[in-house]
Amino acid sequence: MHWQYYNPNPKSNLVGDCVIRALTLATDLSWDKVYLELTSQGFLLKDMPSSNHVWSVYLKHKGFTRHIIPDTCPDCYTVREFCYDNPEGLFVLATGTHVVTCINGDYYDTWDSGNEIPIYYFKKGT
């Protein structure tokens, strides 16, 4: 429901690392640790660390489950609305071009991504 500024990047960079930023919060690991683990996973899968396939496998190994957002209104259901509808829990949302973490109804990012349209999400646990 509320955007919270979050940037764990050690150099305070603001672009290009949304997957790593989101996953640091979701896994409670440092930016460096997530970067290295994603790079290793990417190497094993022969894909880039920020590709959807790589970070999806990574989250599954960390105990997250993937869920698809129903296509009842593909252009009107936003990150903000998802967080409103899910006031409890830990989620990582994918929009197709961006990744953001939602915890207990708040979403964390370097910018207010609340109007982005999520396609699928990962939930911690079942």
Tens digit of pLDDT for each residue in 15-40?
889 999 999 999 999 999 999 999 99
H/E stretch holding 100 = strand 99-103
Q: What is the dihedral of CA 36, 40, 45, 46, to 10 degrees?
A: 90
DSSP letter at 91 equals: E
Model pTM?
Answer: 0.94
Is residue 101 within 8 A of residue 18, CB to CB? The reply is no
Structure tokens that stand for 91 in this block = 């989620």
Per domain, the residue ranges of the chain are 9-124
pLDDT average, residue stretch 99-126 = 95
Q: Decide: helix, strand or coil at residue 98.
A: coil
Q: Which pLDDT score is estimated for 74?
A: 65
